[in-house]
Amino acid sequence: MAAKTDDSGPVLPPAIESAWGLRDRPPKGPRPQMSVPTIVDAAVRVADADGLAAVSMSRVAKELGAATMALYRYVGSKDELLMLMVDTGYGPPPGPPPAEADWRAGLTRWAWADHEVLRRRPWLLHVPISGPPITPQQLGWMEDGLRCLDDTTLAEGEKTSVLLLITGYIRNEASLTAQIIEGSRAAGIEPGEMMPAYSRMVARLIDPSRFPALHRVLAAGVLDQDDDPDDEFTFGLDRILDGIEALIRRRAA
């Protein structure tokens, strides 16, 4: 009758609570034949093999030899499953920065670890993010990133903003390169031929007098040479770190 009020407003889904180890199995009833981690692992396996679009409740159930609806005893909804997939998909964070590393070296290492995860599991990019991180490993990644800034004189709010800036960049860059790979596979051409083909198409569409800057970019052949995607990533990351460095220097002075 009385509303069951928890301490704080938004309620954590049961499956997430169990990911934090906050849930004990009630003693009654038949023994569960699956577990949340089993299901999440199966879903991750499907996503690794056939992409996020292949992850349907029935497909995951088939992977486990169970019935579709059986899964709903463990996860409250597909969205909840996706959240847990992200958590285990990222895997453990890279650990705190080495003692001898300055903030820039530390963040660079952290950024490359994040980058590597997204390169290995591009489906992570297709999971619609529905809120700030609340799963254990997600927060672990955040923690390790924040630690890189421990020795700086930035305010706590600035540290989080900085980290947000970097994660956003990494995600974005990964998204773009993943799109090129997926797009080329869909079009049935070599990944290296994707951007040149795009370049030709745009060149055919635009009027050079109305799009002079764009035309100059195309004429320079920027999109035709397939440079190392890692160089592209490094370029943007260094720009951002330069910007942060300027801020840190100003704060230190």
Partner DNA sequence: CTAGTTCTGCGTATGGTCTACGCATTACAG
Partner DNA sequence: CTGTAATGCGTAGACCATACGCAGAACTAG
Contacting a copy of itself within 153-172 (CB under 8 A): 155-162, 164-165, 168-169, 171-172
Residue 98 interacts with, from a copy of itself, DNA, none (CB under 5-8 Å by kind)? none
Q: Which letter, b or e, does each residue of 106-136 get, where b requires 16 or more Cβ atoms within 10 Å of its Cβ?
A: bbbbbbbbbbebbbebbbbbebeeeeebebe
Number of residues that bind a copy of itself (CB under 8 A): 73
Using the minimum distance from each CB to DNA, give the nearer residue, 64 or 203.
Answer: 64
Residue 112 interacts with, from DNA, a copy of itself, none (CB under 5-8 Å by kind)? none
Q: Please give the structure tokens belonging to residue 51.
A: 């992409």
Q: Please give the structure tokens belonging to residue 59.
A: 């497909």
* Residue 230 binds to a copy of itself (criterion: CB under 8 A): no
CB of 189 to a copy of itself, least distance (A): 6
Q: How many CB atoms lie within 10 A of CB 22?
A: 10
* Contact track, a copy of itself, 182-221, x by CB under 8 A: -x---x-x---x-x-xx-xxx-xxx---xxxxx-xx--x-
Window 99-128: residues binding a copy of itself (CB under 8 A): 126, 128
* Residue 37 binds to DNA (criterion: CB under 7 A): no
Q: In sequence order, what are the residues at sequence separation of 6 or more whose Cβ sits closer than 8 angstroms to the Cβ of residue 72? A: 57
* Residue 247 binds to a copy of itself (criterion: CB under 8 A): yes
* Residue 4 binds to a copy of itself (criterion: CB under 8 A): no
Using the minimum distance from each CB to a copy of itself, give the nearer residue, 120 or 239.
Answer: 239
Q: What amino acid is encoded at 243 in this protein?
A: G
DSSP state of 99: T
- For residues 63 and 85, give the distance between their C-alpha atoms in angstroms, rounded to a whole number: 15
Residue 203: exposure state from Cβ atoms within 10 A (0-12, 13-18, ≥19): middle
